[in-house]
Structure 1
Amino acid sequence: MRLTSIARLVSIIISAAPLCEGAVLLVPDDHLLIQGAIDSAAEGDTILIAPGTYEEETIDYRGKALLLTSEDPTDPEVVAATLVWRYSGRLFQFVSEEGPGSVLAGLTLRARRGGATGVYCRRASPTIRLCVLEELAGNDEAVAIHGESSSILLDRCVVRNCHASSGAGIIMLSGEKATIKGCVIDSNYSYLSDIVSIHTDSLEIIDTRISRSTRYATGLGIYSKVFKIVRCRIEENDDGGIAGVSGDGQEGYIEDTAIQNNTTTLGAWGAGLYLYGSNKVVLNRCEIRGNVAQSYADGFADGGGASIYSYKPNASVVFNDCIIADNHALGGFRARGGGVSVTHRLARFNRCIFTGNSASGWGPATGGAISSSEGATVEMIGCVVSDNRSEGQWAGGAGVVTRSRTLLSNSILTGNYAAGWNTAAGAAISVTDVGDVDIDNCSIEGNWLSNPDTDTDSGGIFCNGGELRIANTILWNNEGQELLAPLGDLTVAYSNIEGGWPGIGNIDTDPFFVCRGELDLLLPPASPCVDAGDPLSIDALFDRHPRWPAWFPNASRSDMGAYGGPCNGTWVGLDCVHYP
């Protein structure tokens, strides 16, 4: 039988143009069993399956490039009515080096008891498109899709309500490449394993949602050498959203992706995003929001939104234009990095917003927005850090806490709050131990403390060790002291410090902050901070530049505060090329 008009429509929908010259075999009209149709089919044929319930032993493609599809894979009612199921075992398998031309489309796959796998692949590269895999359960193999040494394309599939009591989780793919496009992976149960676990050389996930995993299950575990995640939603997973773990050589990109409302309690690290050992990862225009890392009573929580950890040399992560908001690290013994925690690694934040994050617990609670420690290097350029909290026995750095190398440039820290039962210090920034910190062209205003002691507490910056260098910066209207440094080596120059501070070019005068559009803490023409920064530092964009939001003519010398200096173009989307 030649290709019918229905099959022609299917071939267009499935984009299986090479199959258009093959024959069409009908199930059950021509063959009662799907396996019988496959055995009779030739390369390039289409097997068209009518609505019904099909219970067979494992269906094997036998190495053939053919399209096996329901009558209309784009109609959810047709897909639901075309059901392949069995009590246990594999429903479909590709084990004879099938390629992308081996297409499974528009079917619902389901099993009734444990030990089931929807699709099993070994050394094959099939295409699975517009299928629903549901209510599958098993132990050893991944219950929905298990790929070994394979390159699989999952296109617009739904995987839901599957149950893995141990082992490989719901989807496990290994081999050369994995591609997941337009899929929904929702409401699956996997005990102590990833819902989606990828071990391929390369991975691409596009327009996909991975959500509502349960029973200590991470939504997405990435163990690939190269990965790219674009326009995805990773949300409401029970033991973390994304975990990227590798040895040497991993490179990854996450773009336009929402990582939100994930939780973790077992080893409470990075409820939204956990990167361990990954070499180079870049996040562009992502939103990390509402994630919670909560430890047990005697444990600790590190990185409510993200935890970045690596001993690997040259390991780095870069956040560009990201929003990190309303994340929480809730610790027993210790809580740090409500938004992000960085350990032993370079992390750079360009034009990012940190707001509404918190670190809290009965022990030390530090870094409501961001915490860096133990050999990390953190660079923040053009960031807004606002309304973050640290609450604990000892609370510090509701905005930023650091005991490592930190560079802050052209950033705003405002409205951050530190509440300590014993001590609260440095609501905006806290530098401790061996911290080595440069703060250049920042505006630090309106940060506050619980029960501030004006002699011993600082709502602005607290330095209790290490080295701290401040230049071209404004500290104004913070509770307690603006700047407190009982220990450490402190240098301040060309800065406006309320109450005054010794150093070349420093002043103590109201900056007259104004707000225009979405930019806060701008300087009006009458501000004493205009053209008052280091005379050797030049504004990249002068205030008379046509792209500048608060236009007025003045000189090129750096202004004090967040909108001056060689990196001030970051506020209108220009990359900073002058900063180290």
Structure 2
Amino acid sequence: MICLVLAACVQSTWIVDAGGTAPGAGTASDPYTSITYALEQPATVSGDTVLVRPGTYSDEAVDFLGKNVLLRSTAGSATTRIVGVPLGPDPAPAIKIASGETAVLVEGFTVAGDAGARGYWPVAPNTEVGAGILCSGSVVTVKDVVLTGGQNATAGAGIFAISADLTLDRVTLTANGRDSYTQSGGGIYADSSTIVWRNSLVVDNEVDFRGAGGYLENCNTQLNRVVFRDNGGFYSAGNGLTISGGTLVADSCSFTGHISGDPGGAIIVDSAADVELRSCVFRWNAGGGPDPYPGGAIRLSGGDLRIFDTLFESNSGQFGGAISALQPMLIEGCTFVDNMAAGAQEYGSYGGAIACVAGTRIERSVFVGNRAQDTFSDGGGAIYGAADIVHCTFVNNVANPGDPGAVGGTGSILENCIVRGQPGSIGSASATYSNVEGGAAGTGNFDADPLFWSSLSDVRLLPGSPCIDSGDPASAVDPDGTRADVGAFAFDPNVGAPIGMTSCIANVNSTGASAALVARGSTVAADDRVTLHVEDSPGGALGYFLSSQTPDSTSLGGGSQGLLCLGGNVLRFSASVLDDRGTGVVSFHPRLGAFPQGTVAMAGETWLFQYWFRDANPGATSNTSGAVSVTLN
């Protein structure tokens, strides 16, 4: 009895080699020749490892039979291929894990459905599923596996999972469902499962209904660094992913090139699903079809959707070039560039980037170059509908003449926003504490050049921007503790790469430290993007910048404690007296074409900069920062 118990506890390794002599004994010198056969052997038990040597293993119907076995190739997916049984009277998936397994690993294979393999799902007769891998009621990890060519499955031509706990790591799903038979989930179809899916590629899968890349129904899914590309089908929708019920959190994923004949080029969110997208990219997706609300990248039909720090670029759809939302949603920290609303004339087109309903909130997001501009457009080059829009920046979003270029429809409210590029571009939307080109009625609104780093590519604020400290006083303060700025980005003195070099160290001031000066931005004179930033000046002190082309080092005298590091003709930017607002930090953007005394700073010249400020140390005095020199080119 003791020997039998010990034998059952020993973990064995079995070898499979397609080039061996059938059936084999599973040893290194006499390997099994079939993976299916290796798993069927009574000697193969839970805890064992089956190692598969390079080769093509055809007509396989691998069934784990309730055994928790590690199935690994010895040389990886490029040289180890599993091909399912041909379509016939007794179809089966290439790999089946459906007998209560709790710890299965499949690693390092290409699983091919070249012969049209498929498996019948027993609880739904005449429903063919899972040509590649079928999982039911099991715990499975699939790693470094390519699933390709799965066909003749109504659902899940690559992978079918139901009530499973599934981990997919470095898995490629490609060219599955490319027939007229697969309806949903060309790459993967999962129902009532828990899925952790990372570092994977889903490309060029097809279906006739929904979810060419994947169809997830009532699943709890985590995606991380998964790439969805060029999945589709002419009559299909949600070609990257369809999420019907359940939860999904996607982080650092990308969805590109999905073109749909129905709503939701890349994603459909439906049936009370709870979806959160973070740091993702949606590019070149298109949604269409007879539905008047398609959404080029995303269609929110039901459930909850939250999107953070995500890029939407060059997507198109009739109602919402990037997103069409029939339910309220939250968007925060996102960028929408060059999305377009265009579609069939009987419905018109609305919302170059977003079409939404009341209850939607959009925060800290940027909209550049979006458009709703076809013949039957009703406006909203960036947004159409009713939304609370807070701390957003709109630049050069366009609609047809007479239609609002930035925000169309009725019911939207803008607060602390920048709207530039088209006068009158917020239509009937209300605005407060916003910088609106052409002006807008409302408390705190103004019309002024916001001083972006770049009008299109970088809409962060330069020092001296009128948007700094101009937001609603009741809004939360900015990260530097001061009144809210207007626009998507609070002013940050650390924007831009350091330029120039320190040419002089300042004397100690009343803080017990020397005020340090750093130059940032660009040394290209034509860019006019030199910015100056001082730290450790006394809180609440007033001052202004000095500049010269000649270095020096001399005491200021006259009771000042400062060291003047400039000589020759010293220019004083005294028309721009600065206040550090109690922070000890001051920033300034010297306009290279408008220095004092009518001076123009030109390429080939070296300019030195220094900051002079009042101080009390202990009596009334003044001091200076260190100096930096910047050579322009």
Q: Specify the SS of the correspondent of 1:232.
A: strand
More strand per residue: 1
Q: Does 1:339 align with 2:306?
A: no
Q: In structure 1, what is the Cα distance between the partners aligned to 2:415 and 2:461?
A: 17
Distance 1:188 1:57 in 2: 19
Deviation digits for residues 137-162 of structure 1, max 9, x if unmatched?
23664431122224332101111224
1:181 aligns with 2:143: yes
On the 8 A contact 2:16/2:52 being kept in 1, the answer is: no
1:559 aligns with 2:523: no
**More displaced stretch, 123-132 vs 317-326:** 123-132
Identity of aligned residues (%): 23
Q: CA deviation at 1:357?
A: 0.7
Q: Tell me, in whole angstroms, the C-alpha distance in 2 between the residues paired with 1:305 and 1:425.
A: 24
Q: 1:161-176 to 2 correspondence within 5 Å?
A: 161-164=114-117, 167-170=128-131, 171-176=133-138
Residue 425 (structure 2) pairs with residue 482 (structure 1): yes
Quick one: which of 452, 458, 461 aligns to 1:520? 458
Partner of 2:398: 448
CA distance in 2 between partners of 1:272 and 1:377 (Å): 22
Equivalent residue letter for 1:316: D
Q: Secondary structure at the match of 2:197?
A: strand
- The one of 306, 313, 316 equivalent to 1:355 is 313
1:291 partner letter: H
- 1:398 correspondence with 2:352: yes
Residue identity in the other structure for 2:486: M
Which residue does the alignment assign to 1:545? none
The alignment partner of 1:420 has SS state of: coil
| Map of 2:190 onto structure 1 | 222
Moved more, 184-193 or 504-513: 184-193
Q: CA deviation at 1:57?
A: 10
Shift of 1:409: 0.6
Q: Please state if 1:271 is matched with 2:222.
A: no
2:378 match: 424
Deviation at 1:219, TM superposition (A): 0.6
Larger radius of gyration: 2
Q: Output the CA distance in 2 between the equivalents of 1:135 and 1:227.
A: 24
How far did residue 318 of structure 1 move? 1.0
Shift of 1:529: 1.4
Whole-angstrom distance in 1 between the partners of 2:372 and 2:393? 18
Which of the numbers 341, 344, 362 marks the counterpart of 1:408?
Answer: 362
Change (3 A) 1:55 1:522: closer
User: Aligned-pair distance for 1:109?
Assistant: 5.3
**Partner in structure 2 of residue 458 of structure 1:** 404
Alignment correspondent of 1:153: 105
Amino acid at match of 2:12: L
CA 1:453 to 1:19, structure 2 compared with 1: closer, same or farther past 3 Å?
A: same
Partner of 1:389: 340
Change (3 A) 1:421 1:377: same
* Secondary structure in structure 1 of the residue aligned to 2:137: strand
Q: 1:333 to 1:341 in 2, by over 3 A?
A: closer
Q: Is the 8 A contact 2:16 2:35 kept in 1?
A: no
CA contact (8 A) 1:539 1:564 kept: no
Give the AA of the match of 2:453: V
Whole-angstrom CA distance in 1 between matches of 2:265 and 2:203: 14
Instruction: Tell me which residue corresponds to 1:367.
Output: 320
C-alpha separation between the residues in 2 aligned to 1:357 and 1:125?
45
Residue 323 of structure 1: which of 281, 284, 298 is its match? Answer: 281
- For residues 541 and 492 of structure 1, do their structure 2 counterparts lie closer, same or farther at Cα, with a shift above 3 Å needed? same
8 Å CA contact 2:17–2:52 kept in 1: the answer is no
The answer to whether structure 1 residue 281 and structure 2 residue 230 are counterparts is: no
- The answer to whether structure 1 residue 252 and structure 2 residue 236 are counterparts is no
C-alpha distance 568-133 of structure 1, shift in aligned 2 (>3 A): farther
Say if 1:333 and 1:469 are closer, same or farther in 2 by CA, change over 3 A. Answer: closer
Residues 242, 17 of structure 1: alpha-carbon distance in 2 compared, 3 angstrom cutoff: farther
How many residue pairs align between the two structures? 456
Distance 1:104 1:403, change over 3 A: same
Amino acid at match of 2:404: S
Task: String of CA shifts for 1:294-342, please: whole Å, max 9, x gaps.
Answer: 2xxxxxx21111111123xxx4211111111111113245352111111
2: distance between equivalents of 1:335 and 1:378? 16
Q: Shift of the alpha carbon at 1:418?
A: 1.3
Query: Gapped runs of 5+ residues in structure 2?
Result: 1-8, 74-79, 119-126, 497-633
What's the CA shift for 1:404? 4.3
- Letter in structure 1 aligned against 2:188: L
Alpha-carbon distance change, 48 to 416 in structure 1, aligned in 2, over 3 angstroms: farther
1:385-407 alpha-carbon deviations (Å, 9 max, x no partner): 01111112211111111024211
Which runs of 5 or more structure 1 residues have no equivalent in the other structure?
A: 1-15, 39-45, 66-97, 295-300, 360-364, 543-554, 572-580
